[in-house]
Structure formats: C-alpha cells, structure tokens
Structure 1
Amino acid sequence: MSSPRKPASFRVDEVEIDAPPPPPPVLEEPLANPPATVRNLPKMKRGFAWGSILIGAIGGLVSIWAAIWFDAMVRDLLARDDWIGWAAIGMAVVALLALAMIVLKEAIGLLRLGRLGKIRHEAESAIRQQDKPLAQDVTHRLRSLYHGRQDMAWGLSRLAESERDIMDADELLKLDERTLVAPLDPLARGIVAASAKRVSVVTAVSPAALIDMMFVAAENLRMLRKLATLYGARPGTLALLKLARMVVGHIVLTGGIALGDDVIQQVVGHGLTARLSTRLSEGMFNGALTTRIGIAAIDVCRPLPYIEAKRPRFRAMVAEVAGIR
C-alpha cells in the first residue's frame, strides 16, 4: 500500500483524460444463404387467335352481303326505265357525295388538330435550342393558321410590323404569343367559365342522375369544340373524340384528376360547404370538374406554350364559377 497523496492545487485545462480505445470494427459475416436474383419470366406462348378470326369472318360476311345488296339494288334501279329508278339513282349519288364530303371534313379536322400540336412542339424546341429559323417557321405557321380571320387582323398586322426587328428566337415567339395567342386566352377562359356554370346549375336542379351524366358529357364536348375552334382547329366528330382523349391523357399525366371536397372547401370555405345541400354540392363538384377539363383543353389546343402569359389557375376559376371574389 502506497502512502496517500497529499492535497495539491491544479488547473482544470492541464488535466489529461485517458479515453479508452475504440472497439475494433465488427466485420459482417457473409450470409449463409444469399437471396436469389430475380430472373425474367419465360415468355408465355399465346394460343391461336380464334376470337380475331371470328370477328374478321363475320365482318367479311357482312361486307359481302352489303356489296351484293347494293349491286342488286343498282341493277334493279337501272332496269326500271321510269322516274322512280332515276330518282333513286340520283339520291344514291347525292348520298355518296355527302359521305365523301363528311370523310373529307373529318380528315381536314384531324389535320388541323394535329397542326396545333406540331406548332406547339416546334415552339418549345425553338425556345429550348434558341433556334431562330425554327422560330420563324413557327411564326409563318401561325400566320397561315389565323389568316383570313377578322378577329385576328390587328394581331397579324402588328406581327408583320415588328417581326423583322427581332433577332432572338424566344423574343420572336413572345411577340407571336403577345399579338396572336394571348388575346384568345380571355375568350377561352370565358368559354370554360360559362360551361362550368351551366353544368353546375343544371346538375344542381336536375332530378335524375342519367340526365346529369348526359348533359355533363354533351356540355364538355361542346366546350372542347368551342376551344378548339377558337384556337384554329375547327374539329369534326372524329377530331373532337381524339381531342377528348388527348385532354383526358393530359389530365392524367399532370396529376390533376383528383377533385374532392377538400378542393371545393379550400376555394369556397369550410363553413359554407357544410351548409350546402347535397344537390348543390354535386353541382359545384361537376362545375369544378368541367373547369379542370377546360383548363386541360386550353393546354392541348393552345398553339404556343405559356411564355409570358400566365396559365389559368384552377382554384381562381372555380371561385369565379362559384361567384366568390
């Protein structure tokens, strides 16, 4: 046993503390049974397409029957040397001519709708790449698109006066938007707001759900046709259906299909929506859905992306439809 240490004074910063050494790292042992890697599933062989053969055979039989019936009708009419036969032949010619004009109109409508998307795609590429020749091509396409429209005469003349003084691609496209496309945006928002208000009122007072569905579908198709015509498409029936499919795809891609009571409550107010009747709430919901479809239709039909102009805000438009300022 050593003698006890005598008391002494010392400074705290002079004390050295011996810390224990850190423990050595523990190496992980390899797993005894490593997980098996997932391989591609083998391709499953499909059987013979009997359903397609059945549909094709039935379609062929119907086509042959229609051809035989038409041939027999024409022979019978030609065999009759009276006014009934000649009148029937004349009506058949008129029907074929009308059918050809309908097909031509639908083809032109599809081409016009595709032209809007092509112009917008080229404009986005010109802005991204700063391509002046491509921007000039977009300007030329827009000029030919709106040529002959009385409501676009001022914008076309303004564009012709100023486009030669612009050197940059994005500035030229800004001029295109400012003079040609931006003046159409308030009209497009007015079309969407009017359709949404009609849908809200009719579905709020309608006594049957089937009437609601039919009216909402008809009003939305009518709105799509008006928006496409405003921006220069003038679609037919097939082009209108294609536009509806494009709008639905745009809504799904942008993630804006989810419309619920929380959206309506944020726009209108929690207290007011709680006191609304069920039918009035359904009317507001259908109006909000129509508004969302209209905004997506504007995005699809607009021949230029939003450069200087602001995209319509969904909540602001829903509040406008609901009459809340």
Structure 2
Amino acid sequence: MTERPDAPFVIPAGPLPEPEAAHPSEAPPLDDDMPEGAAMVRATRLAARGSRGWGAWFWTLATSLLTLVISIAAYDYLTALLARFPALGMVALGLTALLGLVVLVQILRELLAFRRLARIDRFRAEAAAAHASADREAALALSEGLARFYGGRGEVAWGAARLAEARAEMLDADAIILATERGLFATLDAEARREIEAASRTVAGATALIPLALADVLAALSMNVRMIRRIADIYGAHSGFFGSWRLLRSVATHLIATGLVSVGDDMIHSVLGGSALARVSRRFGEGVINGALTARVGIAAMEVCRPLPFAALPRPSVSNLIGRSLTGLFGRSDAAGR
C-alpha cells in the first residue's frame, strides 16, 4: 500500500530532558541588582544613633576631663609666660580673653537657638489645642503671635497684611488657622522646597561620583545637616551648631520609626520609573535614590520646623522634588512632573 502524498510527516520523539527545577517556585531567583541608597541609609542611621546609658556618661565625663586638663594647661602656660616675658604674657592673656568672649557669644547664640526651637514647638501645640477645642480666641491669638514672629520678614509682608485684613471677619477657629497658614507659609514653603531640591541634587551627584563608601556617607550627612539648618532658618528657628544636630537626630529618628528611611519598590519605580539609569550604571541609580532619600529628610525637616502642620497648603512629594532637582543632572528623570 502506497502512502498518500499529503500524509503528515511524523518524527518519533525520544526521552524528554529533565527540567532544572521541578516547579517554577523552586527556580533560582533572578539577580536583581537594584540601587538601595546605601549612603543615605547609613547617614540617617548614624544621625539617629545617640549615646545612651553608660555611653552618655562616658562621653560626658571624658569631655569634662578634657576641658579641665586644657584649662589647667592654659593657666600654667599663661602664668609662666607672664613671669618670664610680661609683655608677651599680656598679649597672650588678651587673646585668651577674646577667645573666651567668642565662646561665650557662641554659647548665648546656641541658647537663643534652642529657645526659638522651643517657641516653634509651642506654636505647634497651640495650633493643635485651638483646632481640637474650636476656640476662636485661641486661634486669633495664635495667628497674631505668628504674624509678630514673622513680622520682620519681607517675603511674608504681603501675606501678613492680607491676613490682618481678613482675620477679623472670620468666625471659625479652623478658618483662621488655615488662613494663617496660607498667608504666612506659602512663600516660606517655596523657599524650603528650593533648599531641598538643591540638597538632593548635590547629594545625588556626590554619591554617584564618589567611589569611597565612607566618603559618600560623610558627604550625604554634611549636606543633610546644612539643608536642615537652612530649613530651620527659613521657618525662623535659626538653629545653631548643636541645634542643627538635634534637629537632624529628631528627623532621622522620625524617619526610622516610620520606616521612611528604607528603599522600597514603590520608591524605586516612582523615582527611576522607566529611566535607563539603573540599567546603564548602578552608581548613577544609587545617586538618584540617595537624592530621593535626601528629599524625604527635607520634607520631614519641614514638618519639624514648621509652626503649623500642612493643611491648607499641599505637603511636598518626594517624586516631584526629586524630578525637579535632578532634571539636567543625569538627564530628565521620568519622575519629573509627577
């Protein structure tokens, strides 16, 4: 019997090869080398870490002992110099007096800075109490106090004048607080956002270009301290050296407690999006994530230094800040405009 010309051609199959994994769930994971923002994560945890217990006692006693030793050594040096060379001793004594005066002025500035920070905290507590009790008189007192607090600031003069005209006609406590926020903080928020964008741009560029792990952590930490200090100055806190570190520690502790210091998939996709940065260079991707974490620190610093919480005015978003700050640095980010 002859075969039909249109009959199918069949190839006998041999034994099939064994699969590498019995089930898809047992397959080896893919190598996902995504940026993690290691520099900013380490810098934030370093800032939030404080001496507690025996560590605090050790540093306090060590600082006291070092101050005592330096004071005794300086006294012995001055007395010996006065005995041997009276003229040079008088010059050294005058320089020491000037140095002590400078130290005293710096101490007074630090105390004044802590006092202004405490006043910011009182404003925030008064706003919460007025909102909870719906007390119009308390809201009026708060609004007038904030207007006096920012009275010498030219950038808020127009808003303060409009607020003074409209405040007397308002009968609701919440309306007075919202009008105070719009009148006094619209310009200040814009200045704070510009500081955050500049700091995010600098941190992103520094951590992307500096190859040393410790160096990029120090660069990120120093830039965040500077950013927090500038934000405090914008909102009238005028923090000194120790006040800036106190604010940095408060902000870092808040970020760690709320989990915002970690880098999640939502943050990577919202910041990097469809950009090719992470595929072309992981180091540039690290820079972008570090810049985004810096923006998070800046927003937290705004919330800490701002006398009123965000209500009438929108709270800045990380994706918008990082998109505006990194435009033109690594190429236009996909997050820009979101």
Short-chain TM bin:
0.7 to 0.9
User: Which residue does 1:211 correspond to in 2?
Assistant: 215
Residue of structure 1 equivalent to 2:286: 282
TM-score of the pair, normalised by structure 2: 0.73
Partners of 1:243 and 1:224 lie apart in 2 by: 7
The number of residue pairs the alignment matches comes to: 277
Q: 1:172 aligns with which of 165, 169, 176?
A: 176
Letter in 1 for 2:287: G
Which of 146, 150, 157 is equivalent to 2:150? 146
AA matched with 2:219: F
- 8 A contact 1:265–1:273 mirrored in 2: no
Structure 1 residues 58-104: Cα deviation after superposition (integer angstroms, max 9, x where no partner): 77765654454344344335546742122111111101100100100
Q: Does 1:223 align with 2:227?
A: yes
**One-letter amino acid of the counterpart of residue 163, structure 2:** L
> Computing the radius of gyration over CA atoms, which structure comes out larger, 1 or 2?
1
AA aligned opposite 1:256: L
Q: Percent identity?
A: 35
Superposition pairs of residues 24-39 of structure 1, within 5 angstroms: none
Hey, what does 2:100 align to over in structure 1? 96
The structure-2 alpha-carbon separation of the partners of 1:60 and 1:319, relative to structure 1 and needing over 3 Å to count, comes to closer
1:252 offset after TM fit, Å?
A: 2.9
Aligned to 2:186: 182
Structure number with higher relative contact order (C-alpha < 8 Å, ≥ 6 residues apart): 2
Supply the AA of the counterpart residue of 1:172: I
- 1:237 lines up with 2:241 in the alignment: yes
2:303 corresponds to which of 299, 303, 313: 299
Residue 130 in structure 1 maps to residue 131 in structure 2:
no
What is the deviation of 1:115? 1.6
- Which shifted more, 278-287 or 75-84? 75-84
Aligned residue runs from structure 1 range 8-87, under 5 A: 65-79=69-83, 82-87=86-91
SS at match of 1:304: coil
Q: Does the 8 Å CA contact 2:203/2:220 hold for their aligned counterparts?
A: yes
Aligned AA (2:161): S
User: Take 2:205 and 2:157, find their aligned partners in 1: how far apart are those partners?
Assistant: 37
Separation in 2 of the partners of 1:207 and 1:50? 36
Instruction: Report the equivalent of 2:21.
Output: none
Structural mapping, 1:186-197, within 5 Å: 186-197=190-201
**Residues 61/98 of structure 1: CA separation in 2 closer, same or farther (3 Å cut):** closer
AA of the residue aligned to 2:164: A
Q: 2:3 aligns to what?
A: none
Q: Quick one: structure 1 residues 63 and 207, their matched pair in 2 at CA, closer, same or farther if it must change by over 3 Å?
A: closer
Q: How far does residue 172 in structure 1 lie from its aligned partner after superposition?
A: 1.1
Instruction: Specify the alignment match of 2:255 in structure 1.
Output: 251
Q: Is 1:111–2:120 an aligned residue pair?
A: no
1:265-296 CA distance string (max 9 Å, x none) = 24432573552311111111111111111111
CA displacement 1:127-180 (0-9 Å, x = unmatched): 111122322232232123212122222122222222222222111111211110
Q: Which amino acid aligns with 2:119?
A: R
Q: Post-superposition shift, 1:56? A: 8.5
Residues 271 and 159 (structure 1 numbering): CA distance in 2 closer, same or farther, change over 3 Å? closer
| 3-state SS of paired residue (1:165) | coil
- Cα distance change of structure 1 residues 253 and 128 upon mapping to structure 2, 3 Å threshold: farther
Structure 2: runs of 5 or more not aligned: 1-52, 327-332
Deviation at 1:108, TM superposition (A): 0.9
Per-residue CA distance 1:174-222 (angstroms, 9 max, x = gap):
1211110122212211211221122112222223223312211111111
Amino acid at match of 2:115: L
CA distance in 2, matches of 1:56, 1:204: 38
Aligned equivalent of 1:268, options 266, 272, 276: 272
Question: 3-state SS of the aligned residue for 1:109?
Answer: helix
Give the residue type in structure 1 aligned to 2:100. Answer: L
Residues of 1 paired with 2:54 and 2:260: CA distance? Answer: 41
What is the alpha-carbon distance in structure 2 between the residues aligned to residue 299 and residue 58 of structure 1? 35
Alpha carbon RMSD of aligned pairs, Å?
2.8
CA distance, structure 1, for counterparts of residue 261 and residue 306 of structure 2: 20
Work out the CA distance in 1 between the residues paired with 2:311 and 2:57.
Answer: 52
